[in-house]
Structure 1
Amino acid sequence: MPEPTVGLAAGYFQSYSVVGLLTLVGVLFVAVAFGAGRLLRPVVPTPEKLLTYECGVDPVGEGWAHTQVRYYVYAFLYVVFAVDSIFLFPWATVFAAPGYGATTLVEMFIFLGFLAVGLLYAHKKGVLSWT
Protein backbone atom coordinates (compact mmCIF):
# COMPACT_ATOMS: atom_id res chain seq x y z
CA MET A 1 0.00 0.00 0.00
CA PRO A 2 1.55 3.37 -1.01
CA GLU A 3 2.20 6.00 1.57
CA PRO A 4 -0.68 8.55 1.64
CA THR A 5 1.64 11.51 2.37
CA VAL A 6 3.39 11.12 -1.00
CA GLY A 7 0.22 12.11 -2.87
CA LEU A 8 -0.37 15.02 -0.52
CA ALA A 9 3.18 16.29 -0.95
CA ALA A 10 2.89 16.16 -4.74
CA GLY A 11 -0.33 18.21 -4.66
CA TYR A 12 1.24 20.63 -2.20
CA PHE A 13 4.27 21.30 -4.39
CA GLN A 14 2.13 21.39 -7.53
CA SER A 15 0.22 24.36 -6.11
CA TYR A 16 3.52 26.15 -5.55
CA SER A 17 4.59 25.37 -9.11
CA VAL A 18 1.50 27.22 -10.36
CA VAL A 19 2.48 30.27 -8.28
CA GLY A 20 6.06 30.04 -9.57
CA LEU A 21 4.86 29.76 -13.17
CA LEU A 22 2.61 32.81 -12.80
CA THR A 23 5.48 34.76 -11.25
CA LEU A 24 7.75 33.79 -14.12
CA VAL A 25 5.12 34.82 -16.69
CA GLY A 26 4.69 38.17 -14.93
CA VAL A 27 8.43 38.85 -14.85
CA LEU A 28 8.75 37.89 -18.52
CA PHE A 29 5.83 40.16 -19.44
CA VAL A 30 7.45 43.14 -17.72
CA ALA A 31 10.87 42.35 -19.26
CA VAL A 32 9.38 42.10 -22.77
CA ALA A 33 7.47 45.36 -22.30
CA PHE A 34 10.59 47.23 -21.14
CA GLY A 35 12.69 45.67 -23.91
CA ALA A 36 10.14 46.62 -26.57
CA GLY A 37 10.01 50.16 -25.22
CA ARG A 38 13.78 50.45 -25.37
CA LEU A 39 13.93 49.11 -28.93
CA LEU A 40 11.03 51.12 -30.33
CA ARG A 41 11.61 54.54 -28.78
CA PRO A 42 13.39 57.26 -30.72
CA VAL A 43 16.71 58.37 -29.23
CA VAL A 44 17.48 61.94 -30.30
CA PRO A 45 19.02 63.81 -27.34
CA THR A 46 18.95 67.59 -27.71
CA PRO A 47 19.95 70.26 -25.18
CA GLU A 48 16.28 71.11 -24.64
CA LYS A 49 15.44 67.51 -23.86
CA LEU A 50 18.25 67.26 -21.34
CA LEU A 51 16.99 70.23 -19.29
CA THR A 52 15.12 69.64 -16.07
CA TYR A 53 11.38 69.65 -16.75
CA GLU A 54 9.06 70.75 -14.00
CA CYS A 55 5.37 71.18 -14.88
CA GLY A 56 6.13 73.03 -18.10
CA VAL A 57 8.00 75.82 -16.33
CA ASP A 58 11.65 76.52 -17.07
CA PRO A 59 13.82 75.91 -14.00
CA VAL A 60 14.86 79.13 -12.27
CA GLY A 61 17.27 79.48 -9.35
CA GLU A 62 18.79 76.71 -7.31
CA GLY A 63 17.64 73.14 -7.30
CA TRP A 64 17.39 73.08 -3.51
CA ALA A 65 14.17 74.05 -1.74
CA HIS A 66 13.60 74.15 2.00
CA THR A 67 10.56 72.38 3.36
CA GLN A 68 9.46 72.44 6.97
CA VAL A 69 9.71 69.11 8.72
CA ARG A 70 6.44 69.52 10.60
CA TYR A 71 4.44 68.66 7.47
CA TYR A 72 6.16 65.29 7.32
CA VAL A 73 5.40 64.74 10.99
CA TYR A 74 1.70 65.38 10.38
CA ALA A 75 1.77 62.97 7.46
CA PHE A 76 3.47 60.37 9.65
CA LEU A 77 0.87 60.83 12.40
CA TYR A 78 -1.86 60.37 9.79
CA VAL A 79 -0.27 57.09 8.73
CA VAL A 80 -0.13 55.95 12.36
CA PHE A 81 -3.85 56.63 12.81
CA ALA A 82 -4.69 55.01 9.47
CA VAL A 83 -2.86 51.83 10.52
CA ASP A 84 -4.66 52.01 13.85
CA SER A 85 -8.05 52.18 12.18
CA ILE A 86 -7.16 49.36 9.78
CA PHE A 87 -6.21 47.21 12.78
CA LEU A 88 -9.45 48.02 14.62
CA PHE A 89 -11.85 46.58 12.03
CA PRO A 90 -10.53 42.99 11.98
CA TRP A 91 -10.09 43.16 15.74
CA ALA A 92 -13.77 44.03 16.15
CA THR A 93 -14.84 41.03 14.08
CA VAL A 94 -12.59 38.60 15.98
CA PHE A 95 -13.61 40.09 19.34
CA ALA A 96 -17.18 38.94 18.78
CA ALA A 97 -16.12 35.33 18.06
CA PRO A 98 -16.59 32.94 20.97
CA GLY A 99 -13.42 32.14 22.88
CA TYR A 100 -11.36 35.09 21.61
CA GLY A 101 -12.81 37.95 23.66
CA ALA A 102 -10.32 38.21 26.53
CA THR A 103 -7.24 37.56 24.41
CA THR A 104 -8.11 40.09 21.74
CA LEU A 105 -9.12 42.65 24.36
CA VAL A 106 -5.68 42.39 26.01
CA GLU A 107 -3.97 42.62 22.61
CA MET A 108 -5.97 45.74 21.74
CA PHE A 109 -5.10 47.45 25.00
CA ILE A 110 -1.40 46.68 24.41
CA PHE A 111 -1.66 48.13 20.90
CA LEU A 112 -3.50 51.22 22.11
CA GLY A 113 -0.92 51.58 24.88
CA PHE A 114 1.89 51.73 22.32
CA LEU A 115 -0.10 54.28 20.36
CA ALA A 116 -0.71 56.37 23.49
CA VAL A 117 2.99 56.31 24.41
CA GLY A 118 3.84 57.54 20.91
CA LEU A 119 1.27 60.33 21.13
CA LEU A 120 2.49 61.37 24.57
CA TYR A 121 6.05 61.50 23.26
CA ALA A 122 4.95 63.62 20.29
CA HIS A 123 3.03 65.93 22.64
CA LYS A 124 6.02 66.30 25.01
CA LYS A 125 8.27 67.18 22.07
CA GLY A 126 5.78 69.85 20.95
CA VAL A 127 5.11 68.20 17.60
CA LEU A 128 1.35 68.45 17.90
CA SER A 129 1.24 72.23 18.25
CA TRP A 130 0.39 74.28 15.13
CA THR A 131 2.62 77.22 15.97
Structure 2
Amino acid sequence: MTSSEAILATNLLPLIIYFGAVLAITGVMLGGAYLLGQRHHAKAADEPFESGIVPTGDVHIRFSVQFYLLAIFFVIFDMESVFLFAWSVALQESGWSGFIEALLFISVLIAALIYLWSIGALDWRTRRQRIDSSNSRS
Protein backbone atom coordinates (compact mmCIF):
# COMPACT_ATOMS: atom_id res chain seq x y z
CA MET A 1 0.00 0.00 0.00
CA THR A 2 1.43 3.37 -1.01
CA SER A 3 1.43 6.39 1.24
CA SER A 4 -1.36 8.11 -0.74
CA GLU A 5 -3.57 5.03 -0.41
CA ALA A 6 -2.88 4.92 3.33
CA ILE A 7 -3.78 8.60 3.67
CA LEU A 8 -6.98 8.05 1.67
CA ALA A 9 -7.89 5.05 3.82
CA THR A 10 -7.33 6.97 7.05
CA ASN A 11 -9.35 9.92 5.74
CA LEU A 12 -12.24 7.70 4.67
CA LEU A 13 -12.30 5.55 7.80
CA PRO A 14 -14.36 8.04 9.89
CA LEU A 15 -16.85 8.40 7.02
CA ILE A 16 -17.23 4.63 6.70
CA ILE A 17 -17.70 4.27 10.46
CA TYR A 18 -20.29 7.08 10.45
CA PHE A 19 -22.16 5.51 7.52
CA GLY A 20 -22.20 2.14 9.30
CA ALA A 21 -23.43 3.74 12.53
CA VAL A 22 -26.24 5.53 10.70
CA LEU A 23 -27.34 2.28 9.05
CA ALA A 24 -27.18 0.41 12.38
CA ILE A 25 -29.15 3.06 14.28
CA THR A 26 -31.77 3.23 11.51
CA GLY A 27 -32.10 -0.55 11.52
CA VAL A 28 -32.43 -0.67 15.31
CA MET A 29 -35.07 2.07 15.30
CA LEU A 30 -37.16 0.53 12.51
CA GLY A 31 -36.75 -3.01 13.83
CA GLY A 32 -37.59 -1.92 17.37
CA ALA A 33 -40.71 -0.12 16.21
CA TYR A 34 -41.78 -3.19 14.25
CA LEU A 35 -41.14 -5.62 17.13
CA LEU A 36 -42.39 -3.46 19.99
CA GLY A 37 -45.21 -1.62 18.24
CA GLN A 38 -48.87 -2.30 18.85
CA ARG A 39 -50.79 -4.35 16.35
CA HIS A 40 -54.50 -3.78 16.26
CA HIS A 41 -56.82 -3.89 13.32
CA ALA A 42 -60.10 -2.14 13.77
CA LYS A 43 -62.45 -1.05 11.03
CA ALA A 44 -62.14 2.59 12.06
CA ALA A 45 -58.33 2.45 12.20
CA ASP A 46 -58.05 2.22 8.42
CA GLU A 47 -60.51 5.01 7.66
CA PRO A 48 -59.47 8.60 7.04
CA PHE A 49 -60.05 10.79 10.07
CA GLU A 50 -59.74 14.51 10.61
CA SER A 51 -60.60 16.37 13.80
CA GLY A 52 -63.27 13.90 14.84
CA ILE A 53 -65.24 14.36 11.63
CA VAL A 54 -65.58 11.65 9.04
CA PRO A 55 -64.59 13.23 5.73
CA THR A 56 -66.95 13.36 2.79
CA GLY A 57 -65.89 12.94 -0.77
CA ASP A 58 -62.62 11.73 -2.14
CA VAL A 59 -59.57 12.11 0.08
CA HIS A 60 -57.27 12.39 -2.94
CA ILE A 61 -57.35 16.00 -4.10
CA ARG A 62 -55.81 16.68 -7.47
CA PHE A 63 -53.69 19.79 -7.70
CA SER A 64 -52.57 21.45 -10.87
CA VAL A 65 -49.00 21.01 -12.07
CA GLN A 66 -48.54 24.79 -11.72
CA PHE A 67 -49.00 24.41 -7.97
CA TYR A 68 -46.08 21.99 -7.75
CA LEU A 69 -43.95 24.08 -10.11
CA LEU A 70 -44.49 27.18 -8.02
CA ALA A 71 -43.66 25.24 -4.86
CA ILE A 72 -40.42 23.97 -6.42
CA PHE A 73 -39.52 27.48 -7.60
CA PHE A 74 -40.14 28.81 -4.10
CA VAL A 75 -37.87 26.18 -2.53
CA ILE A 76 -35.14 26.82 -5.09
CA PHE A 77 -35.20 30.60 -4.64
CA ASP A 78 -35.42 30.17 -0.87
CA MET A 79 -32.28 28.03 -0.82
CA GLU A 80 -30.51 30.56 -3.00
CA SER A 81 -31.35 33.27 -0.49
CA VAL A 82 -29.59 31.14 2.15
CA PHE A 83 -26.48 31.16 -0.05
CA LEU A 84 -26.71 34.93 -0.34
CA PHE A 85 -26.97 35.21 3.43
CA ALA A 86 -23.77 33.19 3.81
CA TRP A 87 -22.10 35.49 1.29
CA SER A 88 -23.23 38.56 3.20
CA VAL A 89 -21.83 37.17 6.45
CA ALA A 90 -18.44 36.52 4.85
CA LEU A 91 -18.35 39.72 2.81
CA GLN A 92 -15.29 41.19 4.52
CA GLU A 93 -13.29 37.99 4.06
CA SER A 94 -14.32 37.52 0.43
CA GLY A 95 -13.65 41.13 -0.59
CA TRP A 96 -14.50 42.57 -3.98
CA SER A 97 -14.17 39.25 -5.79
CA GLY A 98 -16.83 37.74 -3.50
CA PHE A 99 -19.04 40.77 -4.04
CA ILE A 100 -18.73 40.45 -7.83
CA GLU A 101 -19.49 36.73 -7.58
CA ALA A 102 -22.60 37.52 -5.52
CA LEU A 103 -23.71 40.07 -8.13
CA LEU A 104 -23.20 37.48 -10.85
CA PHE A 105 -25.21 34.95 -8.82
CA ILE A 106 -28.04 37.47 -8.32
CA SER A 107 -28.04 38.34 -12.03
CA VAL A 108 -28.41 34.65 -12.92
CA LEU A 109 -31.31 34.42 -10.45
CA ILE A 110 -32.99 37.47 -11.98
CA ALA A 111 -32.48 36.05 -15.48
CA ALA A 112 -34.05 32.76 -14.38
CA LEU A 113 -36.99 34.59 -12.81
CA ILE A 114 -37.53 36.65 -15.97
CA TYR A 115 -37.41 33.46 -18.06
CA LEU A 116 -39.94 31.71 -15.80
CA TRP A 117 -42.20 34.74 -15.96
CA SER A 118 -41.92 34.99 -19.76
CA ILE A 119 -42.88 31.34 -20.35
CA GLY A 120 -45.85 31.69 -18.00
CA ALA A 121 -44.60 29.31 -15.32
CA LEU A 122 -45.71 31.73 -12.61
CA ASP A 123 -49.20 32.19 -14.05
CA TRP A 124 -51.82 30.69 -11.72
CA ARG A 125 -54.80 31.28 -13.98
CA THR A 126 -56.60 28.35 -15.53
CA ARG A 127 -56.76 27.94 -19.28
CA ARG A 128 -60.33 29.26 -19.28
CA GLN A 129 -59.36 32.34 -17.26
CA ARG A 130 -56.53 33.07 -19.70
CA ILE A 131 -58.89 32.75 -22.67
CA ASP A 132 -61.50 34.94 -20.97
CA SER A 133 -58.94 37.64 -20.13
CA SER A 134 -57.53 37.63 -23.67
CA ASN A 135 -61.05 37.89 -25.11
CA SER A 136 -61.95 40.79 -22.80
CA ARG A 137 -58.87 42.74 -23.94
CA SER A 138 -59.82 42.44 -27.62
- TM-score of the two chains, using structure 2 as the length reference: 0.62
CA–CA separation in structure 2 for the residues paired with 1:11 and 1:75 = 44
The correspondence for 2:78, drawn from 67, 79, 82, is 82
Question: In the alignment, which residue of structure 1 is the partner of 2:16?
Answer: 20
| Larger RCO (alpha carbons 8 Å, 6+ apart) | 2
Distance 1:97 1:33 in 2: 43
The structure 2 residue matched to 1:49, chosen from 28, 37, 45, is 45
Q: Report the alpha carbon displacement of residue 31 of structure 1 after superposing the two structures with TM.
A: 0.6
Out of 83, 104, 112, the position equivalent to 2:106 is 112
Q: Which amino acid aligns with 1:107?
A: E
Taking a change above 3 Å as real, the CA distance of residues 65 and 22 of structure 1, as seen in their structure-2 partners, is: closer
Q: Which residue of 2 aligns with 1:33?
A: 29
User: Matches of 2:53 and 2:83 in 1, distance apart?
Assistant: 43
* Long gaps (5+) in structure 2: 125-138
Q: How many residues align?
A: 124
- What is the Cα deviation at residue 111 of structure 1? 1.8
Q: Distance in 2 between matches of 1:41 and 1:97?
A: 53
CA contact (8 A) 2:69 2:121 kept: no
8 Å Cα contact 1:53/1:59 also seen in 2: yes
Q: Name the Cα RMSD after superposition.
A: 3.5
Q: Which amino acid aligns with 2:112?
A: G
Most deviating of 105-114 and 117-126: 117-126
CA-to-partner distance for each residue in 1:73-110, whole Å, 9 max, x for gaps? Answer: 66455434423322223334555347x624x3443333
Report which of the two has the higher share of helix.
2
- Bigger mean CA deviation after superposition, 15-24 or 113-122: 113-122
Q: 1:12 to 1:54 in 2, by over 3 A?
A: same
Partner letter of residue 41 of structure 2?
P
Matched, 1:63 2:59: yes
